[in-house]
Amino acid sequence: MAASAALSKVSVGCFHSTVLPRQELGAGIAQNHLCHDRSPIFSPRAKVNALLAPPHFERSSYLGVGTVEEALPLLKPVRKRCQRTCQAAAQPVAPSTQDFRNKQPKDINVLVVGPTGYIGKFVTKELIKRGYNVIAVAREKAGIGGKQGQDQTKTEFAGGDVRFGNATEAESLEKAVNGDRVDVVVSCLASRTGGKKDSWLIDYQATKNSLDVGRKQGAQHFVLLSAICVQKPLLEFQKAKLKLEEELQNTEGLTWSIVRPTAFFKSLGGQVESVKSGGPYVMFGDGKLCACKPISEADLASYIADCVVKPELANRVLPIGGPGKALTPAEQGEMLFRIVGRNPRFIKVPIQLMDGIIGFLDLLSKAFPALEDGVEFGKIGRYYAAESMLVLDSKTGKYDEDATPSYGKDTLEAFFEKCVREGMAGQELGDQAVF
């Protein structure tokens, strides 16, 4: 099959110049390295004969063969060689006996899945900057709404090896990796919506596929971008992430780093434009129900890159926040008003209102299953309105600011100042927007 497609391509290549003697036909095809071609086979005999003997060429001067009957015996050994080559490429890579951490970055192959997401793009660029041999597998249409094409993705990750595949399908991901050795897998995959099906498809299955393919290709270490909120799993995406975390920790012959960041800057910037334009700041309750130590995308990317080779970060669950004290929504709002030079004006939404809406949608979803995700979205909003993004003390059941590690140098205040000055371009929330 591959040999037939190869013949088609070779014939085009020889159309205007070279005439291959019959005995060199097979070698000529093999030298073009086309055994991985997945073009449809041209099986009808008439079509093959037409290809081998175009009406405006002498058959004897076109690849040195006449009818398909004459060509097939020459193709058999080529087909066998192609099959052996393709089968060899699909074979698992034997685990290396050398610890990859002893290698130079340029000799370490890092497979990144989810490279075009909010955090993934910064992680990928950071790894490239540090000199790793980065294999970034992205969707053909990436970004919010699938607006980013292949050329744009390749340009964004210049210096990396950008390939395209679908991590939700193990076969597609394996095809993108193409049999190359993998030392480390870095997964930045995350559901964009938090819906039930999407959570299990992305946060669990796609990430599991990445683990399986990575292991097959010799991976010794797996870095997982998770979330600090899985400490108290009430939502579907949290349960999906936890299941994957558990399976990762139980994988034999593999070290791992599970990174659980607090809130991202982008997640807290949804009201910048509104407040800048004279609007109020909306918060739930008194604005003091929850707190977080937000971390920038650049600082988090740097920390994740540290996890690739630092042995002290291996086989650990790693909660991580940004620099400075934990901030409540009320404090975030006051900071924003101070930056725009306005007196604070808040709208306080009773959290019980969310409970009523969720209960009503939940009741409707019994009769209308299509509303099921709407219920889940409501629960997500309710969760973030009441639960802190800090380390949860398992003994006291309370969130602990002091137990939440800090990393980096970027502050939320500096982020707000930049957004007020330059706008929110590049910080769009897409499906994750609440306000």
Q: What is the SS3 string spanning the chain?
A: CHHHHHHHHHHHHCCCCCCCCHHHHHHHHHHCCCCCCCCCCCCCHHHHHHHHCCCCCCHHHCCCCCCHHHHHHHHHHHHHHHHHHHHHHHCCCCCCCCCHHHCCHHHCEEEEECCCCCCHHHHHHHHHHCCCEEEEEECCCECHHHCECHHHHHHHCCCCEEEECCCCCHHHHHHHHCCCCCCEEEECCCCCCCCHHHHHHHHHHHHHHHHHHHHHCCCCEEEEECCHHHHCCCCHHHHHHHHHHHHHHCCCCCEEEEEEECCECHHHCCCHHHHHCCCCEEEECCCCCCCECCECHHHHHHHHHHHHHCHHHCCEEEEEECCCCCECHHHHHHHHHHHHCCCCCEEEECHHHHHHHHHHHHHHHHHCHHHHHHHHHHHHHHHHHHCCECEECCCCCCEECCCCCECCCCCHHHHHHHHHHHCCCCCCCHHHCCC
Specify whether the CB–CB gap between 317 and 428 falls below 8 A. Answer: no
Contacts of 310 (CB under 8 A, 6+ apart): none
Q: What is the pLDDT of residue 433?
A: 47
- Using CA atoms, how far apart are residues 4 and 37, in angstroms rounded to an integer? 10
Cα–Cα distance list, 215 to 68, 207, 314, 362, 377 (Å) = 43, 12, 17, 41, 34
Q: CB neighbours (10 Å) of residue 373?
A: 19
pLDDT given for residue 95 in this prediction: 63
Domains of the chain are 2-90 (no CATH), 103-265+294-320 (3.40.50.720)
pLDDT of residue 98: 81
What global pTM score does this model have?
0.77
Report the C-alpha gap between 173 and 305 in whole angstroms.
22
Residue type, 375: V
Q: Please list the pLDDT of the chain residue by residue as tens digits (435 residues).
A: 444 444 344 333 333 333 333 334 333 433 333 333 333 333 334 433 433 344 443 333 333 444 445 544 554 554 544 444 444 445 677 666 689 999 999 999 999 999 999 999 999 999 999 999 999 999 998 877 778 889 999 999 999 999 999 999 999 999 999 999 999 999 999 998 999 999 999 999 999 999 999 999 999 999 999 999 999 999 999 999 999 999 999 999 999 999 999 999 999 999 999 999 999 999 999 999 999 999 999 999 999 999 999 999 999 999 999 999 999 999 999 999 999 999 999 999 999 999 999 999 999 998 998 899 999 999 999 999 999 999 999 999 999 999 999 999 999 999 999 999 998 876 655 544 444
